[in-house]
């Protein structure tokens, strides 16, 4: 069970690590790209805006000479920065001046062209363009005079420095790796904590289960002592039922319900008077009807206890018969729950081979013959065949009066299926 828990937990922690790494990694990557774009845009705006003063100086006293000086100045400056082209347009979107790096003329022709759609814009605009692995930004900066009038605008094509981009990408990548490692380390730290907490929970659950089993045994023993003054019948029928269930390869949960039901099958007899319960002779018809009511009483007693809901099948159906002649509902065949069909056989076999107030024990051979005769009428044929194939060994193991030995075997079964 613990090994399955370790595997279960490891798989889920790995899946959680992968999911969180992908989710947070995607966010880190996105934020890194945003940071990169913002940084490049800021640089592009700053470098393009540096030309504004030269253009404003020209506009104060425009002339051919001032224009020549402007062209020389912006051509000189463009060689020193990351702009590959700069153009100045007047308020009517007519080009006044431009400067292009000689090495960038071919690149400039490959960039998307534009019209006068930015002439009316009043704020700085940046358009990102990718050519191969290089990042370019087309920057539009309006030129506004002191009175708020637009005098024109500057268009610059900025080539983002490869080293800056590489540096920011590297920082983003390192942040991504750090996030993944932190999530991994957190998962590793959580693993022993979860295991420890789960072990404590398992211990509490097992203690609770054992406490419930203890109360189950006490209650079953109380009913058994009132009925026959011994626990042995409860021990034997439970062990017979468990062995048949094991041969049928019942699930763990089904075995739990079978064991609980076997312990409490006659719980309803607490509501039956001693005069009927301990009567040595044959019961009258009225007395037998009263005795049959113990099924309903037992079902009512456990009805409100959720932990015992899987015992209901045995408690309410262990007197049903395969051909429909049983009680309380006259169920037939597969309509009778499997656990009840198993227990009915175990209960009758133990009753046949045991001493009761109204009878002496039958021999093993006679008891087996009665089971064979009742196959298909009282008992499920498949379960009966299976039991008869192993009846002698099961009787040798279980059909004795050593209460201590039987109790020890029963404790092993409880430990196997409830812890």
Active site residues: 269
Q: What is the DSSP string of 294-340?
A: HHHHHHHHHHT-GGGGGGHHHHHHTT--TTS--SSS---GGGS-HHH
SS3 132: coil
Residue 318 near residue 343, CB atoms below 8 Å = yes
Helices 403-418, 232-247: axis angle to 10 degrees equals 40
Alpha helical stretches, state H, 50-128:
52-60, 64-78, 105-110
Residue 357 near residue 280, CB atoms below 8 Å = yes
∠ Cα 237 240 245 (to 5°)? 120
∠ Cα 143 144 147 (to 5°)? 165
Alpha helical stretches, state H, 61-161:
64-78, 105-110
Give the pair of three-digit tokens for residue 94: 């007519």
């Amino acid at each position: 069970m613990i090994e399955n828990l370790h595997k279960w937990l490891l798989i889920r922690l790995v899946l959680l690590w992968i999911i969180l790494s992908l989710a947070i990694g995607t966010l880190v990557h996105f934020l890194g790209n945003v940071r990169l774009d913002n940084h490049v845009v800021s640089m592009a705006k700053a470098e393009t805006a540096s030309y504004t003063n030269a253009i404003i100086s020209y506009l104060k006293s425009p002339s051919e000479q001032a224009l020549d000086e402007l062209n020389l100045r912006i051509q000189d400056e463009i060689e020193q920065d990351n702009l590959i082209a700069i153009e100045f347009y007047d308020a009517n979107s007519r080009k006044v001046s431009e400067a292009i790096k000689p090495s960038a003329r071919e690149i400039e022709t490959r960039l998307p062209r534009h019209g006068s759609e930015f002439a009316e814009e009043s704020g700085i605009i940046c358009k990102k363009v990718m050519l191969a692995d290089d990042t370019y930004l087309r920057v539009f900066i309006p030129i506004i005079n002191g009175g708020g009038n637009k005098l024109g605008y500057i268009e610059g094509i900025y080539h983002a420095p490869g080293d800056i981009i590489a540096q920011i990408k590297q920082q983003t990548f390192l942040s991504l790796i750090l996030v993944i490692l932190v999530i991994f380390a957190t998962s590793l730290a959580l693993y022993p904590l979860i295991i420890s907490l789960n072990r404590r929970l398992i211990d509490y659950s097992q203690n609770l289960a054992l406490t419930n089993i203890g109360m189950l045994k006490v209650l079953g023993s109380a009913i058994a002592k009132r009925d026959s003054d011994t626990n042995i019948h409860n021990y034997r029928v439970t062990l017979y039922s468990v062995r048949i269930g094991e041969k049928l390869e019942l699930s763990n949960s089904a075995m739990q319900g079978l064991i609980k039901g076997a312990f409490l099958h006659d719980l309803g007899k607490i509501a039956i008077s001693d005069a009927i319960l301990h009567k040595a002779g044959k019961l009258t018809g009225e007395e037998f009807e009263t005795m049959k009511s113990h099924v309903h009483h037992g079902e009512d007693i456990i009805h409100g206890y959720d932990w015992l809901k899987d015992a209901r099948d045995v408690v309410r159906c262990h007197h049903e018969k395969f051909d429909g002649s049983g009680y309380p509902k006259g169920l037939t065949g597969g309509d009778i729950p499997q656990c009840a069909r198993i227990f009915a056989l175990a209960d009758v076999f133990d009753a046949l081979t045991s001493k009761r107030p109204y009878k002496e024990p039958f021999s093993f051979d006679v008891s087996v013959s009665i089971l064979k005769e009742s196959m298909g009428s009282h008992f499920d044929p498949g379960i009966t065949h299976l039991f008869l194939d192993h009846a002698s060994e099961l009787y040798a193991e279980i059909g004795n009066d050593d209460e201590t030995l039987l109790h020890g075997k029963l404790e092993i079964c409880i430990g196997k299926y409830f812890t």
